Chain A
Amino acid sequence: MKTEWLNAIYGGALIGISASLMLLFVGRVVGISGIIYGLLNQNTKNDSLWRLSFISGLFVGGLILSSQNPAFFSAAMSNGQWPLIVAGLLVGFGTVLGSGCTSGHGVCGVSRLSPRSLFATLTFVAVGIVAVKLFKLIGIVQ
């Protein structure tokens, strides 16, 4: 099999293991947009602490990756800063309105066979496909 397919399978396995450990340890789903949004609301100290711990883990994992091989990361494909700002606003607003993102709906929700998450995942993948076609056509995305 192609190396990048194998990498996708190995990386996906780590993501699946991570979601399983989250459930086993603290009984929660790994919903990253929800974890971030929870920090923006008034919370007890304890509730904020586990969220910050998870986000720190995501960041330190990034430090390990970039120290091993900077090619784990690449630059965004949009032309200029404005598309990134608009994209961030859409992702932030959309994931809270839609109660989840790729992790919460796409990995955890689909694994739980939640109809809500299946519907959400189909929607954001389908819209993403159409959006990329459109953005490439008008040249916002390379």
Chain B
Amino acid sequence: MKNNLAVFFVGLIFALGLGISGMTRPEKVIGFLDVFGNWDPSLMFVMGSSILIHLISYRIILKRQSPLLTSTWNLPQNKNITSSLIAGSALFGMGWGLAGYCPGPSITSLATFQFQPLIFVLSMISGMLLFKWIDKFIKFKR
């Protein structure tokens, strides 16, 4: 219960960061990707400041024996650069440029109760289910 409450607030802070930085405005995201057109570089600072903070905090936090509320670290271990990684990221980049939404901001934008983020999120979940289904036959090496 305590853990889930903590994770809830982590999500809430994340959403506030997305909103304040401009990530929940598709036209800003597309402006950021429009390097060859009317480029809006401001979103570069979002990645810049978030990475700067986490680059430092990550190293300090991992000096602990364990996290505060659980007993073990649960971090991604895969080190291989696979064709799935590249192909998947390329498909994601295409979708990101088309709608201006990535997964986090699309969920946060559901709170506007508008039709567009809802359509996007439902399609995103369908895309994930499609992957799950195809993966049964192909067994992607991710």
Chain A residues engaging chain B, CB cutoff 8 angstroms: 2, 4-5, 7-33, 36-37, 40-41, 49-50, 53-66, 70, 72-78, 81, 83-99, 101-116, 119-121, 123-133, 135-136, 140-141
B88 touches A98 (CB 8 A): yes
Given that A58-B14, A61-B14, A96-B128 are contacting pairs, would A11 and B46 also be in contact in the complex, using a CB cutoff of 8 Å? yes
Interface residues of B in 86-141 (CB under 8 A from A): 86-104, 106-112, 114, 116-117, 119-132, 140
Min CB distance B96 to A, Å, is: 5
Given that A8-B45, A33-B103, A74-B26 are contacting pairs, would A53 and B16 also be in contact in the complex, using a CB cutoff of 8 Å? no
Chain A residue nearest to B111 (CB atoms) is A62
B98 touches A12 (CB 8 A): no
Q: Among B85, B108, B127, B130, which residue has its beta carbon within 8 angstroms of that of A119?
A: B85
Residues of B within 8 A of A61 (CB): 11-16, 18-19, 108, 111
Chain A residue nearest to B95 (CB atoms) is A90
B46 touches A78 (CB 8 A): no
The main secondary structure of chain B at its interface with chain A is: helix
- The distance in angstroms between the C-alpha atoms of A85 and B33, with both chains bound, is 20
Interface string of B7-51 (1 = CB under 8 A from A): 111111111111111111111101001111100001111111111
A27 touches B79 (CB 8 A): no
- The distance in angstroms between the C-alpha atoms of A17 and B9, with both chains bound, is 11
Residues of A within 8 A of B93 (CB): 94, 123-128, 131
A101 touches B10 (CB 8 A): no
Residues of A within 8 A of B20 (CB): 7, 10-11, 14, 65, 72
A88 touches B11 (CB 8 A): no
Min CB distance A37 to B, Å, is: 5
Residues of A within 8 A of B103 (CB): 32-33, 36, 91, 95, 101-103
A15 touches B25 (CB 8 A): no
